[in-house]
Amino acid sequence: MPHNPLQSIRRYQSISMFGGGIVVTVLILIACALGMASIVYGYLDGERRNYLAGLVQTLNEIKVSETSFRNGVSNAQLIWRDIDHAPQSIVDTFYDNDQQIAISPYPSVVFGVPGQTADRREVARYLSLSVLLARICAASSINRGYALVGYHYSTRTGVFALVPNARTDDVELLTPDGRARAMDALRVDFEDQPSTAGHGRPHVRWLPPFVDPLSGELRIRLAAQAQIDGEPFAVLVTEYAPDYLLSWLPAHPADGTFFVTTSDNQLVATGPGIAQDDARITRLLRLDASRDLVSTDEPVFRDGHVLFRGKLDNTGWTLAYALSWADVIANVALRAGLLLGASLLTIAIMWALLVRFHHRMLAPVYARSQRVFDSESLCRSVIEMAPIGLGLISRADGHFMLVSPVLAERIAQLGSDYRALSGQIVEQYRTRASSGPLQVDFVLPDAAADAAPLHLEVIACGARYQERDVLIVAVVDVTAKRQLVRQLEEAVRAADSANAAKSSFLAAMSHEIRTPLNVILGNLELLDRHALDLSQRSRVRTLRTAASGLLELVSGILDFSKIEAGAMSVESIEFDVMGVIARELGAFAPVAKAKGLSLFCEIAASRTQRMRGDPTRLAQVFGNLLSNAIKFTAQGHVTARVLVVRGECGAAELAIAVEDTGIGIGGADLHKLFKAFSQVDATITRRYGGTGLGLALCDRLVTAMGGRISVTSAPGAGSCFTVRVPLGIGIEPFGARVARDAGTLLLVAPQAEWRQFALPHLAAWGFDVDVYECPLQIPAARHAHAAGIVLFGDADAWSRDALDRLCGGAPIVLATPDGPLEPVRAGRTIRVSSYALDGLHAALGQTLADMPAPLAGPRDAAARPAAVAGSASLRVLLADDASVNGTILHEQLDVLGCTVRVAELGRTALDLLGADEWDLLLIGTDLPDMKAGVLAQTVRLRHVSCDVAIVTSHLMPDDARGYAAAGVECVLTKPVTLARLRGVLASVAQRSGRHVRGDAMQV
């Protein structure tokens, strides 16, 4: 940035203010350092006084001990001159007692060393001295307040005495050699000691610590020779514990450590609690306190310690007082910390005030001044560097005062006519001045030949610059953006057109394919009901199978196309989920039987369980899984497991698992299963057929229903596909036995899978169940008293003789995989599907119809059409044209026993509805004069009391919503089989009390 005077002023002011702050900070830190040094010096001076006081105390102890001891020695010398020999009796006792005798009042004991006590006169004289010395020791102990410990021995004969006599039991004193060794160990060398003959004052000597040979304890000794006329006659020794010299310490505690060393740096004594700390003693001895000892006042700094030391008179020892720097720091830390904290706080306050003054007073002034200096430079820099065109236009004369390079390029594209652009901008701004900043688009011709017009987006607002009214202008070239928007709009229109074409194609294909398939399947279904020979019936059923396969393939492709196009609709209605499961199992039971497979089921849910969702899509997914399981299983069985569980989040879920014993799939190939038009390997299509679309469609349908699908498989061991979808409704309790006893049932099932399926449900319905594998196993007594007999499994599982044995007794319920979903009674035998829990429950209700406590419930009544349906047939008005498709619907309704009337026009249908009562209006197609949805809506507006159903070949989400709004109860998609049509009619019959022919369920 260019230099300006304001920066120099700011720099000088900052240097003055902050430089002064730095100088004051340094002075405060120096003062703090001096103060801390003074604190340390004062502390060390106090410790020096403590040391000197300790030195005085130690010297006093030494002086008192020496004085007392010297008096004792002097007394011994005086006594020796005039002492008499001990009485002969004492001497004899001494020798008779193995040269040992105890002396009182102060307890002591005298020993003689055999071989060194031949001079009995000298021994007698020393015994007299020992008695007097014992008395002297007693007096000294009383005067000093503690018992003296020591010994003395004769220099002229082998006699020594221990004071007191506590050590007489030592084994060393029991033998002559031991006594000799003990006396040698106790001797003190006085070779360099001068004679006291001249002045009579005994010389005393402090001896370094030694281990007492008798007690084994470390002791220091005070020793002196007792002389007479310059010749020693005895040596007297007083023993002290090493800490005796520092016995004053407990009463005068110190921060450091007091200790006493010899001239050769051996430890004599130390303070309490340190004697056992070898590491600390080693550190203290490393200080070598006696080295270079000159003054007792000045401290010495050695090895991280502050050392005070001084000589202990004529002992030759040194008293030292050591303080580690850690001790010094710990003791001055509080005062030094307070001083340092106060200094730092002062510095912090000073700098806070300086910074605050700078930020609150100087910085705003500098900032305002800097903005004045920088404003024009900033504006120019922004204008020059901006990626869009920026400029300033004078409102007075309309000329550009500033122009950025980008804006100059844009104006150059317009032929460099600055005035033309600025004039238009100023004019537009004046026109719209009241609405705030101007934002407008200009389309201007490009000066280049054959160039597209320029699209410029201009934003302008008023401002002041150099005391003039100006417009700040931002110009952006949006030509490329406008072209991109046009291209995107064209692409969206093309995509919408393609989607519309695809939807139209799907609708057309659904109609064009499903309508002829509906005719083919309908005619084959009706033809199969006629009297045909075996060859003809085989051909018809082959055609039905092929047509059904074609329908399944076409439906799968169309459904997959719907999903890809986003046109797939998923219903959310409440339905009987157990009925859906039973219908699909019943539909695939003949297919499984044809391959020699058993199709079992396990249902861990109540028969009354409801679900909210799409029954058609659920049935489609379940059917696809069953179809695949049967297709890829050559032998063994297929098991469908249905249960209601709580998911991870606690929501109720329906879980359907289809397990087979087929070829299985390797783990590396599982990821291919749910890819559209993909097989695990190329041989699958050749061996088993198919397009590879079924599982991909299942995956997308389950996802659309808010669920998930998973698979576990192993080659050669089979596969298990599991679907979990939201239940959408509460879970009905299952497994709890009803309070009422419904009687005893005889359950006959040769296969364990059927027994495991039926037994929990029969028990939950209140029956006591006896289980048998064969009718021949039933005892006659049980047969006579049973409420009913339930035969579960394939009808071929029992012989004719076995079934004949059951005649004449309780009613028989024959539950087989190919039985009807609703019970059909023929004499004493009631046939029902082994998969239909509702049908089985209704059949058992019929067996107990004459009992006082029959099975009851609203659903039971609905499941027994013979009991609730009247004799009158349903009246159906068929609104359809005279095409083949309409004829098929007419014939199907006739087969189902309905009274049918056909209306080929919408007006005709409305007239017939108004003239007579009808149970169902079945609209087969859009009529020439009226669409199906319009007809249904008109019927509802006229409040006609009949159900409305529509048959269509293609159902889009919008169509489904429109039919629901028009009041249509049911929408059937082609092809319409007898079974599906009869299901719709059964629902109508239940509400109207009419009858639907039951044998249609067997087709």
Q: 854-887 as b/e, with b when 16 or more CB fall inside 10 Å?
A: ebeeeebebbbbeeebeeebbbbbbbbbeeebbb
Predicted pLDDT of residue 870: 41
* 961 or 913, which is more confident: 913
Predicted pLDDT of residue 679: 59
Chain segment 53-105, per-residue pLDDT in tens: 888 888 888 888 888 888 888 888 888 888 888 888 888 888 888 888 888 76
Asked if 28 and 343 touch (Cβ cutoff 8 Å), the reply is: yes
Phi, psi of 108 (to 5 degrees): -150, 165
**Alpha helices (H) along 232-315:** 278-286
Q: Is the pLDDT of residue 449 over 60?
A: no
Q: Is the pLDDT of residue 29 over 90?
A: yes
Predicted pLDDT of residue 55: 86
What proportion of the chain, given as a percentage, has pLDDT over 70? 80
Give the integer Cα–Cα distance in Å for 605 and 757: 11
Q: Nearest-5° angle of CA 855, CA 859, CA 862?
A: 105
E strand or H helix at 636: none
CB atoms within 10 A of CB 184: 10
Kindly indicate the confidence band of residue 867, based on its pLDDT and cuts at 50, 70 and 90: very low
Q: Is the pLDDT of residue 768 over 80?
A: yes
Q: What is the mean pLDDT of residues 895-917?
A: 89
The most confident of the ranges 751-765, 805-819, 860-874 is: 751-765
For 501, 773, 794, 802, the CA distances from 797, given in Å and listed in that order, are: 56, 10, 6, 10
Give the integer Cα–Cα distance in Å for 333 and 326: 10
Give the integer Cα–Cα distance in Å for 902 and 900: 7
What secondary structure does DSSP assign to 483-542, as a single string?
Answer: HHHHHHHHHHHHHHHHHHHHHHHHHHHHHHHHHHHHHHHHHHHHHHTS---HHHHHHHHH
Give the integer Cα–Cα distance in Å for 744 and 747: 10
Contacting residues for 768 by C-beta, under 8 A, at least 6 apart: 741, 743, 744, 745
Q: Is the pLDDT of residue 686 over 50?
A: no
Mean pLDDT over the full length of the chain? 80
Phi, psi of 852 (to 5 degrees): -70, -20
Kindly indicate the confidence band of residue 433, based on its pLDDT and cuts at 50, 70 and 90: low
Look-up of token digits 């064209």: 490
Chain segment 505-556, per-residue pLDDT in tens: 655 665 567 667 666 766 776 776 666 777 666 667 667 666 666 666 666 6
Predicted pLDDT of residue 475: 82
> Secondary structure of 29-58 in the HEC alphabet?
HHHHHHHHHHHHHHHHHHHHHHHHHHHHHH
Predicted pLDDT of residue 215: 78
Kindly indicate the confidence band of residue 642, based on its pLDDT and cuts at 50, 70 and 90: very high
Predicted pLDDT of residue 653: 92
Q: Is the pLDDT of residue 569 over 90?
A: no
Kindly indicate the confidence band of residue 859, based on its pLDDT and cuts at 50, 70 and 90: very low
What secondary structure does DSSP assign to 371-396, as a single string?
Answer: HHHHHHHHHHHHHHH-SSEEEEEETT
User: Which has the minimum average pLDDT: 12-16, 634-638, 749-753, 904-908?
Assistant: 12-16
CB atoms within 10 A of CB 40: 18
Q: Is the pLDDT of residue 1003 over 60?
A: no
Give the integer Cα–Cα distance in Å for 130 and 163: 10
- CA 47 from chain centre, in angstroms, equals 61
Contacting residues for 847 by C-beta, under 8 A, at least 6 apart: 787, 788, 810, 811, 813, 830
Asked if 970 and 984 touch (Cβ cutoff 8 Å), the reply is: yes
Predicted pLDDT of residue 30: 94
Predicted pLDDT of residue 932: 87
Kindly indicate the confidence band of residue 890, based on its pLDDT and cuts at 50, 70 and 90: confident
- Classify the C-alpha dihedral 103-107-111-117 as positive or negative: negative
Phi, psi of 824 (to 5 degrees): -125, 120
The most confident of the ranges 111-125, 451-465, 869-883 is: 111-125
What proportion of the chain, given as a percentage, has pLDDT over 90? 8
Predicted pLDDT of residue 548: 66
Evaluate if pTM is beyond 0.75.
no
